[in-house]
Amino acid sequence: MDLTTTRQRRPLLTGSSSSSPKPYSKTDKPGRSDGGDAEDRGLGWLLPFIALCYLRYMSATSNIVHDCDEVFNYWEPLHYLLYKSGFQTWEYSSNFALRSYLYILFHELAGRPAAWWFGDDKVRVFYAVRLFLGLVSAVSDTVLVVAISRKYGKRLGTYAVAMLCLTSGCFFASTSFLPSSFSMYAMSLSSGLLLFEKYAMAVAVSVVGVILGWPFSILAFSPVVIYSLVKRFKQAFISGAVTSVLLLGGSVLVDYYYYKRWTSSVLNLLIYNVLGGGESHLYGTEGPLFYIRNGFNNFNLCFVLAILFIALYPVIRRKYDRCLLVVISPMYIWLAFMSLQPHKEERFLYPIYPLICVSASAVIENIPELFREKYSTRENLLVTITKYLRPVILGIILCASHARTFSIINGYSAPLEVYKLLEHHDDAGPGSVLCVGSEWHRYPSSFFVPDYISEVRWIDDGFRGLLPFPFNNTLGGTAASPPYFNNKNQASDEQFLKNIESCTFLIELQLSRPYPYRGSDLSTWEAIAVLPYLDRELSPAKYRSFFIPYKWQEKNVFGKYVILRRVPK
């Protein structure tokens, strides 16, 4: 036997030296096969869905109405379609036709069966529609977190689902009847489909979020659409084009049915706000830092971490491919674009709320990577410590979020709860008139007004803008173009009740201010329901914004939200 050996060169593995290192994929971990076990498949569908459904149920049943636009532009038209009564804004005047009834019809899918089932109990119909919105939100968010977990690992998916469930922003936005909330659902679903590599479906859902939801959110959806077109151009393009034609055609037909003229509410809205200038300054302006402050209030440390994603991306990209950056990029695009607009409202950020949670989750998971030595296979002390620090950071975010949610619900839920009590005073008899002064913008919708009240009227408390009017059936209902509407936010002479003596009930917020209230006249009015309402101006910011045990009620100042009834003479 020849003991001599010949030294041979080790054969090169194909592509091992010529290609750059690939981003992290959990299938690359030792001991894992492509077939994989339950660990490889990421989170299952059931647990995230149950968790999200439970929190969305809590939101549907306890959420307040955050914006008067939600009431007058969406709840009131839905109430009119169901019960043939409700308030109309100038945007729904046939002369302007800025709002799509197709979006309202989507919610009628839940409202109509609920109205049939519950009959005259309109409050239950209101909450049935909210539960429907919560279910849509839970489904879309479940797709997102399952997709994240299966592509990037269970830990990232778990962090994301925890934040989607409990952060205040997602808790409140998930059951709001607003186009921006609908776009938020579409953002979650399209992002999840993108991660599942269902590019045609991702584009279709994006189109639905823009056309059926909020047309201005097209900018937020653009990264998902562009990436999908790059990956599967033919399928994605056909899917987007067909969906666009069907929705735009359906929208025009529905608008014709209700406005009784050929028009496109989607096009009208874009023309008014883009080509026509929109005159959004008529409804208030805010500084450039408004959304930064608002984001911190609704997401606390989560928002700060989410913003840091791009700064830490050189580290994060070691573990994740560019697809995650595509999913998160709309957050930066939308935040920058909206911050440049003079008119700002909290609801305008709703479409990117799920992305804030995903971005913050990715940052939290990668904190240990900041301290890992680049070429070392051993963990140093800082890496070990920061690994245990991750659940602590998540816990702080969730506790602060709960404190915010608790403060908002308990501080500002009085309007919803007070109006519910009207049903117990039907002894006032049919034809009663409910009057609302400066509290018109907290009117929770006609779903909370019992049938024995024939009219809800505004009384003059100094507001000089244009207020909603009841749908005018004499002039054509949804097809009406009443002369008292204008697009300049100029008050109409007809919007206020002239004879206050005809008021049977009066809604009033009584705060500690140096001026008298109508309810102070005890010879004319008696209080039949009183609930506390947080006085924002007199309460310290840190105590009113977050619930701090033993301090929240002690440090905050509360007014009285009152239903007054006229004293019989």
- 296 contact partners, CB below 8 Å, separation of at least 6: 303, 304
106-115, 172-181, 234-243, 365-374: segment of lowest average pLDDT: 365-374
- At 74, which amino acid appears? Y
- 236 contact partners, CB below 8 Å, separation of at least 6: 199, 200, 202, 203, 225, 228, 229
96, 485 Cβ separation under 8 angstroms? yes
Mean pLDDT across the chain? 89
Read off the pTM: 0.90
Kind of pairing, strands 432-436 and 453-458? parallel
pLDDT, position 155: 94
Alpha-carbon distance 309 to 312, whole Å? 5
Q: What is the pLDDT of residues 492-516, one digit of tens each?
A: 989 999 999 999 999 999 999 888 8
- Give the DSSP H/E element, type plus range, for residue 266: helix 265-270
Residue 26 lies in a domain: no
- Nearest CA to 229 out of 240, 218, 245, 219 is that of 240
Domain final position from 378, 413, 448: 413
Same domain, 392 and 477: no
- pLDDT tier at 276 (50, 70, 90 boundaries)? low
For the residues 517-535, what does the mean pLDDT come to?
92
Domain final position from 413, 437, 456: 413
For the residues 27-34, what does the mean pLDDT come to?
40
Cα angle 314, 294, 544; round to 5? 130
pLDDT, position 375: 60
For the residues 95-101, what does the mean pLDDT come to?
94
Alpha-carbon distance 171 to 134, whole Å? 10
Q: State yes or no: pLDDT of 391 exceeds 80.
A: yes
453, 506 Cβ separation under 8 angstroms? no
11-25, 30-44, 76-90, 486-500: segment of lowest average pLDDT: 11-25
How far, in Å, are 73, 152, 181 from residue 455 at the CA level?
A: 19, 56, 31
For the residues 51-72, what does the mean pLDDT come to?
96
3-class secondary-structure state, position 559: strand
- Nearest CA to 105 out of 262, 257, 223, 222 is that of 257
As given in the structure block, the two tokens for residue 404 are 């915010």
Alpha-carbon distance 272 to 419, whole Å? 35
Same domain, 316 and 423: no
Q: What is the pLDDT of residues 436-459, one digit of tens each?
A: 999 999 999 999 999 999 999 999
pLDDT, position 286: 83
Q: State yes or no: pLDDT of 30 exceeds 50.
A: no
Give the DSSP letter string of 414-468: HHHHHHHGGGGGGGG-TTEEEEESGGGGG---GGGS-TTEEEEEE--SS--SPPP
pLDDT, position 1: 42
- N- to C-terminal Cα separation, the chain: 125
Domain final position from 413, 431, 458: 413
Give the distance, in angstroms, between the CA of residue 77 and the centroid of all CA atoms in the same chain: 19
3-class secondary-structure state, position 469: strand
**What is the percent of the chain where pLDDT is above 90?**
76
Domain count within the chain:
2
Same domain, 303 and 168: yes
394, 162 Cβ separation under 8 angstroms? yes
Give the DSSP letter string of 198-245: -HHHHHHHHHHIIIII-GGGHHHHHHHHHHHHHHSHHHHHHHHHHHHH
pLDDT, position 6: 39
Residue with tokens 């309202």: 104
Phi and psi at 123, nearest 5°, equal -60, -40
As given in the structure block, the two tokens for residue 417 are 């709860």
pLDDT, position 284: 64
pLDDT, position 281: 56
Residue 14 lies in a domain: no
Same domain, 404 and 431: no
Same domain, 274 and 314: yes
Residue 5 lies in a domain: no
- 161 contact partners, CB below 8 Å, separation of at least 6: 43, 48, 51, 52, 141, 145
561, 414 Cβ separation under 8 angstroms? yes
Same domain, 465 and 357: no
Residue 15 lies in a domain: no
Same domain, 167 and 289: yes
pLDDT, position 129: 98
Residue 30 lies in a domain: no
How far, in Å, are 65, 126, 402, 564 from residue 448 at the CA level?
A: 12, 8, 28, 16
340 φψ region: left (φ > 0), alpha (ψ -120 to 50), beta (else): alpha
Same domain, 291 and 377: yes
pLDDT, position 377: 65
Q: What is the pLDDT of residues 36-48, one digit of tens each?
A: 343 457 889 999 9
Same domain, 397 and 508: no
Domain with 141, as residue range(s), is 45-413
Same domain, 400 and 489: no
- 568 contact partners, CB below 8 Å, separation of at least 6: none
pLDDT, position 521: 86
For the residues 475-484, what does the mean pLDDT come to?
93
Same domain, 479 and 362: no
Residue 440 lies in a domain: yes
Alpha-carbon distance 431 to 504, whole Å? 9
